[in-house]
Amino acid sequence: MLSTSLVRLATLAALSAVSTAALACADLRMVPGGTVVQVTDGDTLVLDSGLVVRLIGMQAPKLPLGREGFPTWPLAPEAKAALEALALNKTVQLGYGGAEIDRYERALAHVFVATPEGDVWAQQAMVARGLARVYSFPDNRACLDLLFAAEGRARLSGLGIWRDPYYSVRAANAPGDLLARAGQYELVEGRVLLAEQGGGRVYLNFGRFWKEDFTAVIEAPALRVFAEAGIDPLVLEGALVRVRGWVDDRDGPRIEVTHPEQIEVLATR
């Protein structure tokens, strides 16, 4: 059987946003933010204090932002425009639920925009419109249940990025296609053929040829995060899952899993 934590994730994702709001985000440390004076891209904004805020928990399509040779991802301008329409020149509150500052000195926060109808959670609004994907870190995992639910609805409805092949959910049984996406952040779906532990890490193998087929790898530090959450990844053998993360090409295509929320369980057997 799946652990209680994995079952909880699946259950919460099925609930409505209203009923889950308190459960998912009750522990945020809320602070006044100020006024948004600039939107850099679909997941970054600047406050009147000069503080740069990276909207944690999501990834919008990327713009080059001065990086030579960096391509504009499909729908990146649209994502920036949507965040501008939502937040520019408006007052916001910041909600912290994990690491609060990144190496670029940006605040890592959930952003709540004041409107006449009440506060709007910027992350949920962007994900629900199909203009961002859920994107999390082992030290920043608050509020993800609601974001997964919003992403699922947007994907099923074919909104925004979900109607563009660039963001398609990839098949785990097509390793050649995945190798072509090395260096990209992807969602990969398939059934775990074998879950095994060795050398201090867990391998979730999606094919019989581990040097060629897709693999999700959980290193020792991540295994401690799984253990703290009460989750044994070895129980995923035979499960149909969706794995999200950056694809690399070490011994075939693979994704390193650093925390449980990178794996969504779609069916147990």
pLDDT by residue (tens digit) across 144-154? 999 999 999 99
**Regarding predicted confidence, which is higher, 4 or 30?**
30
Please tell me the chain's helix, strand, coil percentages from 3-state DSSP, rounded to the nearest 5. Answer: 30, 30, 40
Contact 80, 129 (CB under 8 A): no
Q: How confident is the model at residue 19 (pLDDT cuts 50, 70, 90)?
A: very low
Average pLDDT over residues 92-121: 95
Q: Which ranges constitute the DSSP H helices of 31-143?
A: 76-87, 122-128
Instruction: Determine the pLDDT at residue 5.
Output: 40
Closest CA to 145 of 3, 8, 2: 8
- Give the mean pLDDT of 194-219: 94
The better pLDDT of the pair 194, 211 is held by: 194
Q: What's the CA gap between 116 and 125, in Å, rounded?
A: 16
What element of type H or E holds 176?
A: helix 175-179
pLDDT in tens, 121-140: 999 999 999 999 999 999 99
Cα R_g (the chain), whole angstroms:
19
10 has pLDDT over 90 = no
Q: Who's near 250: CB < 8 A, 6+ residues apart?
A: none
Q: 39: number of CA atoms within 13 Å, CB side?
A: 23
CA 110/CA 30 separation, integer angstroms? 9
User: Exposed/middle/buried for 241, CB within 10 Å: 0-12, 13-18, 19+?
Assistant: buried
Whether residue 199 is predicted with pLDDT greater than 60 in this model: the reply is yes
pTM: 0.88
Reported as a single tens digit per residue, the pLDDT across 178-190 is 999 999 999 999 9
